Amino acid sequence: MQKIDLIKIYQRKTALVIDDFPDMRGTIRRMLMNFGVAAVEIAGSGDEAIAFCENRAFDIILCDYNLGDGKNGQQILEELRYRGLLKHTGIYMMITAETTKSMVFGALEYQPDDYLAKPFAQPVLQKRLDRLMLEKAVLFDINQAMDKQDYARAAALCEQLGTEAGRYEQKSLRLKAQCCLKQGRIAEARAIYERVLKERPLDWAQIGLGRCLMEMGELDQAESLFRQLIDQKCLCLEIYDCLAEIQCGKGDIFAAQQLLEHASEISPNAILRQQLLAEISQSNGDWERAEKAHRKIVRLGANSCYESPENYFNLARCIATQMRRDDTGNSRRLKEAEEVLERARRRYRDDEQVRLQTDLISAELRARAGELESARHILAAARDRIGDEAPATAVTLGLARAFQALGDRATAQRLLQELTERHPHDEAIGQAVDRLSDEPLSRKGKEEAVLLNSQGKQLLAAQQYLQAIALFGQALRHYPNNIALKLNLLLALVRQMNIGGANANQLRRCTRLIENIPPLAADHPLHERLHVLWDHVDKLSEQLRAATENSVA
Amino acid sequence: MPEQAPLALLLASSVHDIKNSLGMLIGTLEEVVRSTPIRDQTQRHQFATLQGEAARINNALMSLLGLYRLQQEQLPVRVQEVFVADFLDEQIAANQLLFGMRGLNVRLHCDPQLCAYFDPNLIGGIINNVLVNAAHYARGGIVVSGAREPDELVINVQDDGPGFPDKMLDDVCNHQRGIDFASGSTSLGLYFAREIAQLHRRGHQCGRIALSNLEGGGGCFSLWLP
């Protein structure tokens, strides 16, 4: 394209420069204006930049990766994409000081169009931008279809472009595979990635292939592919998320938690990963780790697209769950959790639903801390405000939790039962209810429980304990309060150690499980089973201790 | 006595800070040069020296930091599809002002469709280093070329200066002995270049560099990537 044409194109573009150094912002801005860009805005922080993008769409965004204490360039990119504030037809260029371990590459979907290393001369920036503009012009229809989330059309357009794509052939293959994955056309995506990998081990194709293998249930193959990428020192943290998902699929949520912890250490500010880490740590009964993650989520969520009262509620409940009867730390924990709730009240001052939920959690907290009277008092006041009409789902769930904490499991169970009956076809509600309930109440949950039970029995009978551990471990993520399930997992772990010897990791898992089972009355149908298993665990702990002492001696 | 931070780490983080300041300095210098009409040859020469030396410091720091990361196993290689002509064109553009000040004619020979696979950031650092060095010694011109040899990409940077001293030719050719740091200021860059080239692998092949002197005078830096 002729230079004069490019100037005309630049004149129609709008640009945003994000850098925390005013001098640098000014320099880059002047460069863009020299190219002919008419409107160049500047922002000094991620929050400022996002506020700009909420008001208008920019054609070109140049963003420094390292912006001091606030969001980094990758997080800004992710938030803009996630919220649809950055079009695929636009250009996002990341400016970097260096490539080191401290710089993290986003998931495939969240990668910038280009990286530009500092310091750079004006003609270099111009050449890069010229080329990107040409590319965006050739791929305009495809990118536009992706913006409209019409992935079928985007994939078809890539196909149509075919060999015409010329130098953009690889780019268009990459986009096509991405669209196929989005649409569940896994075999097609896989074929593309395999074709590319035949020539070169490119990381985007390796990760893509790994994702396909996961979708196809080939977990072992996917795992070895991702392990290989880690050996190659690939810095894309999506790998760890995928590996964690694979471990979950295999039922080893302990390993999954370790992987996510590792990735969070490298990049502590990725909120989606923190959410997954919180959820998985909770499933593992590791409430301390979960609390850490929830705190991070509250902090990172503030003023972002992930801001939600749920973030505060989850943190408060997580603190509450760590309260034990007659524990001296309880009053401190209660205070901490109340502070979190107070912040939620202030933040959502005018939202009655949020205030109701906050009060119900407050009742739950007090009940757990043993302050039964004030818990009952708060609960009664909240119920008065709710009145006779059926409350919102979240409020009903909050009521059920409060009753559970007060030891009134019958009322809690009745509330949950009624909720499922009111929404028999709502899977999300069914799942939420089943998470709280001692046993699944939703239709789907009941069906799954029957299936799980028979599969589990078969595995136990066939002495395939590791598979049984995987099966029950995975199910527990969906039914974390299901006592029978916990006992089954406990049983599988104990039997495995009976043949394979006591093992510290598995014993820790057993102890966590037992700690997280509520006290069962002597006439509870599962009471005896729990105590038999408990004795086994104690014996195994004893064995392990003796073995360690011997080896030390 | 307070506990001492490891010297290597201290150096690396200082280098990082210096690099940031230097980046600002180079950027401002570029703006000054662009907006100041050249008065006479003396001023032209002064601008060329300012730019050339700033670029050399920057390259030396980049090599240092790179080698430190390499030792810490923190230098990831991101191999990707690269259009070689665009890539080389960009390296030349980065030093356009310097070449202009020195009155050098820089030509690029490369098929615009030639495509190869390497880490453009790391290899870009090497080529930039070589170009700044060539600009220092060249008399009238530099020729940059990129071509495909059967299995490899080869990039050559030729200048019409006095050529490389024998000692340097020896050092780079003799891989067993490694590069002798006492021999000259360009050794750090060459050492880094060799290490980076070797990080690029495909099957059993790996990247390499070489120096040679041209028959009609002038030096040639060559880089092969699988």
Over the stretch A462-472, which tens digit does the pLDDT of each residue have?
Answer: 999 988 988 88
Over the stretch B192-226, which tens digit does the pLDDT of each residue have?
Answer: 899 999 999 888 889 999 999 988 889 999 999 99
For residue B124, pLDDT beyond 60: yes
Residue B147 phi, psi dihedral angles, 5° rounding = -150, 160
A414 plus A284 within the same structural domain: yes
A166 plus A149 within the same structural domain: yes
A133 plus A104 within the same structural domain: yes
Query: Is A128 in Cβ contact with B16 (below 8 Å)?
Result: no
For residue A383, pLDDT beyond 80: yes
Q: Which chain A residues have a beta carbon less than 8 Å from that of B28?
A: 23, 27
Q: Is residue A256 part of a domain?
A: no
Report CA A212 to chain centroid distance, whole Å: 19
So what's the pLDDT on residue A173?
93
Query: Is A127 in Cβ contact with B86 (below 8 Å)?
Result: yes
Task: Please state, as a whole number, how many other Cβ atoms lie within 10 Å of the Cβ of residue A256.
Answer: 28
Q: Is residue A363 part of a domain?
A: yes
Query: Is B22 in Cβ contact with A119 (below 8 Å)?
Result: yes
Q: Which residue in chain B is spatially nearest to A121 when comparing CA positions? A: B94
For residue A388, pLDDT beyond 90: no
Report residue A176's pLDDT band, with 50, 70 and 90 as the boundaries.
Answer: very high
Query: Is B80 in Cβ contact with A202 (below 8 Å)?
Result: yes
Q: Which residue in chain B is spatially nearest to A123 when comparing CA positions? A: B93
Q: Is residue A250 part of a domain?
A: no
Q: Give the Cα separation of B66 and B196 in Å (integer).
A: 9
Mean pLDDT score, A384-401? 88
Query: Is A24 in Cβ contact with B96 (below 8 Å)?
Result: no
DSSP state of A327: -
Q: What's the CATH number where A10 sits?
A: 3.40.50.2300
What is the amino acid identity at position A167? R
Q: Is residue A252 part of a domain?
A: no
A277 plus A410 within the same structural domain: yes
Domain boundary among A443, A459, A480: A443
| CB-based burial, A265-277: b 16+ in 10 Å, e otherwise | eebebbbebbbbb
Distance from CA of B215 to the nearest CA of A (A): 33
* Among B78, B94, B113, beta carbon nearest to A121: B94
Q: Which residue in chain A is spatially nearest to B114 when comparing CA positions? A: A167
Q: Is residue A349 part of a domain?
A: yes
So what's the pLDDT on residue B203?
82
Report CA A396 to chain centroid distance, whole Å: 25
Query: Is A99 in Cβ contact with B121 (below 8 Å)?
Result: yes
Q: Which of B65, B68, B81, B97 to mutate to test the interface with A (most CBs of A within 10 A)?
A: B81
Q: Which chain B residues have a beta carbon less than 8 Å from that of A131?
A: 86
Average pLDDT, chain B: 86
Domain boundary among A385, A409, A443: A443
A9 plus A134 within the same structural domain: yes
Report residue A250's pLDDT band, with 50, 70 and 90 as the boundaries.
Answer: confident
For residue B107, pLDDT beyond 90: yes
Asked whether A534 and A521 are in contact (CB, 8 A), the reply is no
Distance from CA of A202 to the nearest CA of B (A): 7
A214 plus A308 within the same structural domain: no
* Among A30, A118, A123, beta carbon nearest to B96: A123
So what's the pLDDT on residue A55?
92
Q: Is residue A321 part of a domain?
A: yes
Residue A81's domain spans which residues?
1-138
Q: Which of B16, B118, B121 to mutate to test the interface with A (most CBs of A within 10 A)?
A: B121
So what's the pLDDT on residue B182?
53
Mean pLDDT score, A512-540? 85
A84 torsion bin: left (phi>0), alpha (psi -120 to 50), beta (else) = left
Q: Give the Cα separation of A10 and A32 in Å (integer).
A: 9
Distance from CA of B113 to the nearest CA of A (A): 7
A336 plus A424 within the same structural domain: yes
So what's the pLDDT on residue A359?
94
So what's the pLDDT on residue A431?
84
Q: At what angle do helices A393-405 and A372-386 cross, to 10 degrees?
A: 160
HEC profile of chain B: CCCCCCHHHHHHHHHHHHHHHHHHHHHHHHHHHHHCCCCCHHHHHHHHHHHHHHHHHHHHHHHHHHHHHHHCCCCCCCCEEEEHHHHHHHHHHHCHHHHHHHCCEEEEEECCCCEEEECHHHHHHHHHHHHHHHHHHCCCEEEEEEEEECCEEEEEEEECCCCCCHHHHHHHHCCCCCCCHHHCCCHHHHHHHHHHHHHCEECCEECEEEEEECCCCCEEEEEEEC
A388 plus A496 within the same structural domain: no
Q: Which residue in chain A is spatially nearest to B203 when comparing CA positions? A: A200
Report residue B1's pLDDT band, with 50, 70 and 90 as the boundaries.
Answer: very low
Least Cα distance to B195 among B91, B80, B75 occurs for B75
CB pairs under 8 A between A and B: 79
* Among B22, B83, B94, beta carbon nearest to A124: B94
Domain boundary among A443, A466, A482: A443
A335 plus A391 within the same structural domain: yes
Place of tokens 């057993």: A510
Mean pLDDT score, A216-241? 89
A307 plus A376 within the same structural domain: yes
Query: Is A118 in Cβ contact with B94 (below 8 Å)?
Result: no
For chain B, the residues whose C-beta falls within 8 A of a C-beta of chain A are 16, 19-20, 22-24, 26-28, 30-31, 34, 58, 65, 69, 73-81, 83, 86, 89-90, 93-97, 113, 115, 117, 121, 124, 202
Over the stretch B37-85, which tens digit does the pLDDT of each residue have?
Answer: 888 888 888 888 898 898 888 888 888 888 888 887 777 788 889 999 9
Q: Give the Cα separation of A412 and A399 in Å (integer).
A: 7
Residues in chain B: 226
A328 plus A468 within the same structural domain: no
Q: Which chain A residues have a beta carbon less than 8 Å from that of B19?
A: 97-98
Give the bridge partners for B82, in sequence order: B116
Report residue B174's pLDDT band, with 50, 70 and 90 as the boundaries.
Answer: low
So what's the pLDDT on residue A349?
87
So what's the pLDDT on residue B189?
84
* Among A97, A200, A233, beta carbon nearest to B117: A200
Distance from CA of A126 to the nearest CA of B (A): 10
Q: Give the Cα separation of A238 and A226 in Å (integer).
A: 10
Query: Is A30 in Cβ contact with B79 (below 8 Å)?
Result: no
So what's the pLDDT on residue A295?
93
* Pair of tokens at residue A546: 């003796």
Distance from CA of B1 to the nearest CA of A (A): 31
Q: Which of B35, B56, B73, B74 to mutate to test the interface with A (most CBs of A within 10 A)?
A: B74
Q: Which chain A residues have a beta carbon less than 8 Å from that of B30?
A: 121-122
3-class DSSP assignment, residue A114: strand
Q: A14: Cβ–Cβ under 8 A, 6 or more apart, which residues?
A: A37, A38, A39, A40, A41, A56, A57, A58, A59, A60
So what's the pLDDT on residue B117?
93
* Among A23, A131, A170, beta carbon nearest to B81: A170
Domain count, chain A: 4
Q: A449: Cβ–Cβ under 8 A, 6 or more apart, which residues?
A: A439, A440, A479, A482
Q: Which of A325-339, A405-419, B45-59 has the lowest mean pLDDT?
A: A325-339
What is the amino acid identity at position B85? A
A321 plus A293 within the same structural domain: yes
Asked whether A90 and A61 are in contact (CB, 8 A), the reply is yes
Average pLDDT, chain A: 88
Q: How many contiguous H segments (helices) and E segments (strands) does chain A have?
A: 27, 5
Q: ipTM value of the model?
A: 0.86
Q: Give the Cα separation of A472 and A103 in Å (integer).
A: 38
Over the stretch A360-374, which tens digit does the pLDDT of each residue have?
Answer: 999 999 998 888 999
* Pair of tokens at residue B148: 């495909």
So what's the pLDDT on residue B169?
82
**CATH match for B80-225 among 3.40.50.150, 3.30.565.10, 3.40.50.1100, 3.40.309.10:** 3.30.565.10
A206 torsion bin: left (phi>0), alpha (psi -120 to 50), beta (else) = alpha
Distance from CA of B115 to the nearest CA of A (A): 9
Domain residue limits, chain B:
7-71, 80-225
Report residue B173's pLDDT band, with 50, 70 and 90 as the boundaries.
Answer: low
For residue A2, pLDDT beyond 50: yes
Q: Is residue A320 part of a domain?
A: yes
Q: What's the CATH number where A168 sits?
A: 1.25.40.10
Report residue A103's pLDDT band, with 50, 70 and 90 as the boundaries.
Answer: low
C-alpha Rg value of chain A to the nearest Å: 27
So what's the pLDDT on residue A70?
76
